[in-house]
Structure 1
């Protein structure tokens, strides 16, 4: 039973392997630390922007999985650095001998699985983020007026803070406010004929105006902000409301937030890919180092030994499982018995 991907490792190669593995382990720890920082920051951004995401949007799973993967990779890097350094010292290696096997299994299955899931989510979730922001921002604009409704009383404050912080207005532009009632009903006079006409002018019975909240105004503009009668070309003599610059934020919040979060996703994806590559190299190096020292009985000494990734017994076990799963009833070509030749029948006399 020959081992799989075996390498001959004399003492000099083992020393070089341990030294290179120590360096790769610290690089893995650094990349994993960056993964934890990036995913933690993205998780904070998602938590902050949670009211503007649809409840069914799966995007928050990405920073959570990336955070867990980064934590496991950080532990793998620290363990790899300690084990590779201990492999050069006969007095320090024996405590690591019984730990390397379980640690390699945990790092491969748990850490590698989480990193791969995180990379898949980085590629698969941007589309759901677009749709989640579309639905979440639309609902936030509709509940802007509900300052006294339980569960939505903070919607006005959150939308105002969002527009002021990210310099955006509406979902795709300031005209989105024309299609929703953003003025609270408690500020409307039911005896005012203009209010009654506006409410009766649409099927939904909403008080719609061609104005925007004050949070859409650019406070750095030297000119007064135009908030109301934005669709009336005769409302202002000095300004043309048809011009794109109305002292309002030009961009919609959907595009601003989407670009903001996608930049974090692309950065996190690059860090995850680097972490995944470094973790694969560290785990392979630890496996070669472990099997090479096990061949010497766990004693670090001069001599030539062999390291490998998989033992021959594991290969035979996998073959047996595969045969039981699908090929038990199909014998291998070399195992098919040759058909016995039919006996020649004698000719009748």
Structure 2
């Protein structure tokens, strides 16, 4: 059976192929290192923003898979550079002849599988981010007042740092704070008539006001930061209550974080695509170089033209060869095989005497 996708390679073509694969190997190692850095950065960001993400969503699966794929690509690039460098010298290549095949197999199965998994997770991440941020930020705003409740003591500090750091306010805007009680009950006077009226006017018995925390204030605004009675025109006669962005962050934290994490995931997805493309090129080139050198006994400077190929025969022949090798491996060794009985040398002599 003829070889699959044969490629004739003369001496100059073999040398150029080895040199090109050496450069491609280091390029793959560089891109694999960038993938490691990008996936590590995304993993750190997801860890830092975990208080504002739904715990039920397994978002860190993407950077973890990308970390493994980047490490595999980096290792394959370094090994490929070593193999192609040794292929240019017939004296240095023999130690690589036995390990180049397993390297190609591991790079194809392991590295390709990890890259495909990470790329699939990168495509599915934006859909999961939206729902995770929606639930996580809603829970964070609800627990803002629970400064003395075990498990939620740091919710106020985390939300304030989020709004100050990302210059956002509320989940979708400042008005989201109007629908949650963000002032702790310890600071409310239960004997105050205004407080009692405000609590009784709410069906759930919450103290709701048209105000926002201090972390929503924009320090670059020329206006003083007014946190209370934001919807009342009488309280702010010189400003329009419909324009809250004059002294508050107008963007919601949901949109800001979603755009930030999607940008990181998009960068990581691009690096994974480039890594996959370079890895396929390197594996194909190494396979052609390996089969070409095997035809010359491992000497790249051998005389004449040799042929590189992907597979020595068709799929049927490959499966048959593998099955035969498996059967041969199960047969007993020659020294373990039962000794056959020696032929009886006296029998012919007895028959001749009988005939006489």
TM superposition score normalised by structure 2 = 0.86
Deviates further, 293-302 or 148-157: 293-302
Partner Cα distance (1:246, 1:299) in 2: 75
Deviation per residue, 1:115-136 (Å, 9 max, x gap): 1112212222211111111111
Contact map agreement 1:233 1:242 (CA 8 A) in 2: no
| Shift in CA distance, 209/282, structure 1 to aligned 2, threshold 3 Å | same
Which residue does 1:306 correspond to in 2?
307
CA distance in 2, matches of 1:319, 1:274: 36
SS at match of 2:17: helix
CA contact (8 A) 2:223 2:246 kept: no
CA contact 2:4–2:314 (8 Å) conserved in 1: no
Which one has a bigger Cα radius of gyration?
A: 2
Please give the alpha-carbon distance, in whole angstroms, between the structure 1 residues aligned to 2:100 and 2:181: 64
Q: 1:151-186 deviations in whole A, cap 9, x for unaligned?
A: 111111110000000000000000000111111111
Give how far 1:46 is off.
Answer: 0.9
How many Å apart are 1:65 and its aligned residue?
1.1
Residue of structure 2 equivalent to 1:21: 21
Q: Name the CA distance, whole Å, in 2 between partners of 1:247 and 1:305.
A: 76
Q: Deviations over 1:256-302 (max 9, x none)?
A: 01111111111111111111100000011111111111222334423
Provide the rounded CA distance (Å) in 1 between the counterparts of 2:118 and 2:219: 40
Deviations for 1:195-228, whole angstroms, at most 9, x for unmatched residues? 2222222222111111000000011223210101
CA distance in 2, matches of 1:141, 1:11: 70
Instruction: Show the counterpart of 2:134.
Output: 134
Change (3 A) 1:315 1:32: farther
SS at match of 1:8: strand
| 1:190 is the counterpart of 2:179 | no
User: In structure 2, what is the Cα distance between the partners aligned to 1:112 and 1:101?
Assistant: 16
CA distance in 2, matches of 1:89, 1:245: 69
Separation of aligned partners in 1, 2:5 and 2:147: 67
1:2 counterpart residue number: 2
SS at match of 2:248: coil
User: Following TM superposition, by how much is the alpha carbon of 1:142 offset from its aligned partner in structure 2, in angstroms?
Assistant: 0.5
Instruction: Give distance in 2, aligned partners of 1:203 and 1:85.
Output: 76
Shift of 1:317: 4.0
RMSD of aligned C-alpha atoms? 1.7
SS in 2 for 1:91: coil
Deviation at 1:313, TM superposition (A): 6.4
Cα separation, 2, equivalents of 1:98 and 1:185: 73
Q: How does 1:7-86 map to 2 (within 5 A)?
A: 7-86=7-86
Matched residue of 2:307: which SS?
strand
Give, in angstroms, the shift of residue 318 of structure 1: 4.7
Contact 2:221 2:246 (8 Å CA) reproduced: no
8 Å contact kept, 1:58–1:125 = no
**Between 101-110 and 233-242, the greater mean CA deviation after superposition:** 233-242
Cα distance change on mapping 1:319 and 1:184 into 2, 3 Å: farther
Secondary structure of the residue aligned to 2:8 is: strand
Tell me the distance in 2 between the aligned counterparts of 1:313 and 1:9. 21
1:9-36 CA distance string (max 9 Å, x none): 2222111110111111111111111111
1:198-347 equivalent positions in 2, closer than 5 A? 198-300=198-300, 301-312=302-313, 314-318=315-319
- Which structure 1 residue ranges, 5 or more long, are not aligned? 322-349
1:329 aligns with none
| C-alpha distance 314-95 of structure 1, shift in aligned 2 (>3 A) | farther
- Give the match's secondary structure for 1:99: helix
Contact 1:287 1:309 in 2 (8 A): yes
- Cα distance in 2 for partners of 1:175, 1:140 equals 15
Contact 2:83 2:93 in 1 (8 A): yes
Cα pair distance change 1:207/1:4, threshold 3 Å: same
1:38·1:268 contact (CA, 8 Å) conserved in 2? yes
Structure 1 counterpart SS, 2:113: helix
Of 159-168 and 235-244, deviating more is 235-244
